[in-house]
Amino acid sequence: MYHLVYNASMINKTQTRGRPKEFDETEALTAAMHYFWEHGYDNTSLDNLLEVMSIKKSSFYATFKSKEELFSRCIDLYRQHSLEFLNTLNKDIGPKQTLLALTTHTINELEEFGKVKGCLLINSGQECYNKYPQLSQQVTKEFNTFNNMFEKLVKEAQVLGEIRSTKKASIISGRYMNTLNGLVVTIQAGASPELINDLVESLKEILE
């Protein structure tokens, strides 16, 4: 088949011997990540992945080795994207507004997609716990990275005076994250708009 589309491998890598890949690895990975994010690990079959990644089975296994390894790379990509997102947001609007923006972002998913995708890490943590030890371990590790990021944002906000509370940053960020985690569950369970609004209000109180 002829190349009708340029892709990253054609641009970044100098062409080596052998038939060239007809798909872009990063693009395929990103597509897989979004599918996992919305449907969860077990509820995503290989066929689902092949379709959304637009590749064939043999290419899949040649490039990603297995479903589990692909997921591992997706989690990695997710953390990478998310932290970059938070960092640029932090530069633009400051740490406290960044934390608040993450909340509204989560809630806006509701109106946009009719459901809340929540956090890929949280979702898959529930799923792979006790079933996929390798993944479980990785999820816990990445989760801590997020935890640290939130704590860093809170500390910065305290230094800037955006947060006046003198509580330990780890405690503030912990309460923030816990409320946010609860929010995902609560919204999914069909909470009223009134309750959702109040939960956002309680989040603001935590960051005062």
Residues that bind a copy of itself in the complex, under the rule CB under 8 A: 42-43, 115, 121-123, 125-126, 129-131, 139-140, 143-144, 170-171, 174-175, 177-183, 185-186, 188-191, 194-195, 198-199, 202
Smallest separation, CB 63 to a copy of itself (Å): 28
CB contact set of 131 (below 8 Å; sequence gap of 6+): none
User: What's the min distance (Å) between Cβ of 31 and DNA?
Assistant: 15
30 touching DNA, by CB under 7 A: no
What sign for the dihedral angle of Cα 45, 48, 54, 58?
positive
Nearer to DNA, 35 or 150 (CB): 35
Shortest spacing between CB 167 and DNA, in angstroms = 44
Q: Which stretch binds DNA (CB under 7 A): 60-68, 86-94, 145-153, 166-174?
A: 60-68
Q: Using alpha carbons only, what angle is made at residue 176 by residues 88 and 103, rounded to the nearest 5 degrees? A: 55
Contact call for residue 161 and DNA (CB under 7 A): no
Residue among 151, 182, 153 at smallest CA distance from 169: 151
Q: Is 38 in the site for DNA (CB under 7 A)?
A: no
Q: For 134, list phi and psi in degrees, rounded to 5.
A: -60, -55
The only residue of 8, 13, 26, 62 in contact with DNA, by rule CB under 7 A: 62
Give the residue with the Cβ less far from a copy of itself, 24 or 127.
127
Q: How far is the CB of 160 from DNA (least distance, A)?
A: 47
What angle in degrees, to the nearest 10, is found between the helix axes of 67-93 and 133-160?
0
Contact between 67 and DNA (CB under 7 A)? yes
Here the tokens at position 47 are: 């066929």
Residue 92 near DNA by CB under 7 A: no
**Which positions touch DNA (CB under 7 A)?**
1-3, 15-23, 44-47, 55-59, 61-63, 66-68
